[in-house]
Amino acid sequence: MQASEPIYQMEEKKPALSRNVVLLIIVAALGYFVDIYDLILFSVIRIKSLNGLGITDPDQLSSIGSFLINCQMIGMLTGGILWGILGDKKGRLWVLFGSIITYSIANIANGFVTNVDQYAILRFIAGVGLAGELGAGVTLITETMSKENRGYGTMLIAGIGLFGAVVAAQVGDHFSWQTSYIVGGVMGLVLLLMRVGVVESGMFHKVKNEEVARGNFFMLFTSWGRFKRFINSILIAVPVWFVIGVVVTFANDFGVQMGATETLSPGKGIMYAYTGIAIGDLLCGSLSQVFKTRKKIVFIFLTATLAAVLTFLFSRNFDAQYFHIMCFIMGLATGYWVVFVTMGAEQFGTNIRATVATTIPNFVRGSLVPVLIFFNFLKPHFGIINSGLIVGISTITLAYIALYNLDETYGKDLDYIEEK
C-alpha cells in the first residue's frame, strides 16, 4: 500500500504539470508575438510618424529615421545584457513581467510624442524592454520541458510570435501611427494579466539556493571555451539579419539596379519575409526534433539561405510579385531563428543561461550595424548588387564556420552550472 501511494500521487500531478507547461508556451508565444509587433512597427510607420511630427524632407526622414532606429537598437543591446543578468539573478519570470511592463508603457507613451527628442527617448526605453522577452521565454521552456521535447516548445514560441510582424504591417497600414503604438502597448498589458499563473523554472530555484555566481556577464569572457561558444552562437544567425536588414530593407535600391519593372516596397517585403521566417521556424524546429539534431538542420537552412540570396541577387527585370515570393523564400530559409536561440540556451549552465539566451539574439540584431558599415563601404567600389553578394557570402561563410565549432545540443541535460 505504501509503495502504491507515491505512484498515485505522481499520476495526479502530471495533468497539473502539463497545464503549467501549456500555459507557459501560450504566454511566451503571445509575449514574443507582441514583442515582434512592437519591434517591427517602427519600420512600418517610420515615415508616417515622422510626417506627423512635421518632418517631410527626404534627407531628414532618412537621417532622423536612422537615428531613431539606432536609439532602439542601443536600447536592445543594453536591455539584452540587463535582462539577461536579472534573469539569472532574480528569475526568468521576473524578466517576463519586467520587460513587458517596460515596453508596453513606452509604446503607449510613443502614441503621444510631439517631437523627435521624446520619440528617441521612448524608442530607447522600448528597445530595453523588447530585449528581454524571447530570451526569458526560451530559457523557461528549455528548463521546464523534457530534454527530448523542449524543442517543440521553443518552436511554437517563435513560430507563433513572428506573425506579430504581419499584424504590425497590417495595423500600421490601416491605422494612424499613434493608434498603432497604443495597440501594441495595450496588447502587452493585457498579456501581463495572463502571466499570473506561470510557474518559475525548477532549475533556477535549485541553483538559487546554491553558493554560485549567477548572472555574471563577464564569465563569458573569462574562459576561452565559454567565449568561443558565445561568439559562435551569435555568428550562426547573422545571415538572418543580413537578409532582413540589407536585402529586404534596401530592396527599393536593389530593385533599381536589378531592372525591376515596379518600385519594390521594403515594408511589404518585411511582411512576406517574416511570414516565411515564422513558417520556417515551425519547420526547422519540427525537423530538429524528428531527426534529433540541431546542427544538421541549421546547416540545411543555412545552405538554403545561401541559395535563396544568390537567386535573388542574380535576378533581373522582375516585378513586385516576384520580389514578394523571393522575400517569402528567403524568410523561409532563414527560419532557423528559434533553433539558434535554443542552441544558445543549451550551450551554457543554469547560472548564466538566461544571460546568454537574452544577449545572443540582441547581439545578433546589433551585428546589423557592422554589417551595414561593411556594405556601405563596399558600395562605391563594387556597386550595390556586388556589395550585397560579398557581404552575404561573407556572413554565411562565418555562420558555417561557427556552426561547425558548436557542439550538438539536442537531448543535452541542462541541469548543471558554469564554474568560474
Q: Over the stretch 354-373, which tens digit does the pLDDT of each residue have? A: 889 889 988 998 888 889 88
Chosen domain end from 146, 174, 198: 198
292 and 145 share a domain?
no
What's the mean pLDDT in 325-351? 91
What tens digit of pLDDT does each residue of 159-201 get?
Answer: 788 788 888 888 988 899 999 999 999 998 888 887 666 666 6
Give the span between the Cα atoms of 329 and 280, in whole angstroms. 9
44 and 167 share a domain?
yes
Give the span between the Cα atoms of 87 and 93, in whole angstroms. 8
157 and 283 share a domain?
no
pTM of the model: 0.83
pLDDT at 138: 83
Sign of CA dihedral 268, 361, 402, 278: negative
Q: Any idea what DSSP says for residue 90?
A: T
Residue 7 has pLDDT above 50, yes or no: no
Give the span between the Cα atoms of 215 and 94, in whole angstroms. 14
Least confident of 161-170, 209-218, 330-339: 209-218
Single out the residue of 394, 402, 150 nearest to residue 295, CA to CA: 402
Domain assignment present for residue 414? The answer is no
276 and 331 share a domain?
yes
Give the span between the Cα atoms of 83 and 91, in whole angstroms. 10
pLDDT at 202: 62
Least confident of 39-53, 203-217, 228-242: 203-217
Domain assignment present for residue 7? The answer is no
What's the mean pLDDT in 315-334? 96
Sign of CA dihedral 80, 60, 50, 239: negative
What's the mean pLDDT in 315-342? 94
Chosen domain end from 179, 198, 217: 198
Domain assignment present for residue 342? The answer is no
Domain assignment present for residue 193? The answer is yes
Mean residue pLDDT across the chain: 86
Per-position DSSP letters for 208-225, written without gaps between them: HTSS---S-GGGGGS-HH
What's the mean pLDDT in 120-138? 89
194 and 259 share a domain?
no
Strand, helix or coil for residue 201 = coil
Single out the residue of 153, 254, 143, 281 nearest to residue 204, CA to CA: 143
Contact 312, 269 (CB under 8 A): no
Residue 222 has pLDDT above 80, yes or no: yes
Number of residues that make up the chain: 420
Kindly indicate the confidence band of residue 152, based on its pLDDT and cuts at 50, 70 and 90: confident
Domain assignment present for residue 37? The answer is yes
Domain assignment present for residue 362? The answer is no
What CATH number has the domain bearing residue 130?
A: 1.20.1250.20
Domain assignment present for residue 106? The answer is yes
When divided into structural domains, the chain yields a total of: 2
Q: Which three cell numbers stand for residue 247?
A: 536585402
Give the span between the Cα atoms of 415 and 210, in whole angstroms. 13
Segments forming the whole domain that contains residue 287: 238-335+367-408
281 and 395 share a domain?
yes
Percentage of the residues of the chain whose pLDDT score is greater than 70 = 91
167 and 258 share a domain?
no
Give the span between the Cα atoms of 19 and 15, in whole angstroms. 6
What tens digit of pLDDT does each residue of 361-420 get?
Answer: 889 988 888 898 899 899 899 999 999 999 999 999 999 999 999 999 888 888 778 777
Contact 281, 155 (CB under 8 A): yes
242 and 185 share a domain?
no
308 and 178 share a domain?
no
Q: Any idea what DSSP says for residue 196?
A: G
244 and 181 share a domain?
no
Kindly indicate the confidence band of residue 298, based on its pLDDT and cuts at 50, 70 and 90: very high
Give the span between the Cα atoms of 119 and 417, in whole angstroms. 41
pLDDT at 4: 39
Q: Which three cell numbers stand for residue 87?
A: 534573469
Amino acid at the residue 123? R
Q: Which three cell numbers stand for residue 263?
A: 518600385
288 and 376 share a domain?
yes
144 and 290 share a domain?
no
Chosen domain end from 139, 166, 198: 198
Domain assignment present for residue 349? The answer is no
pLDDT at 17: 47
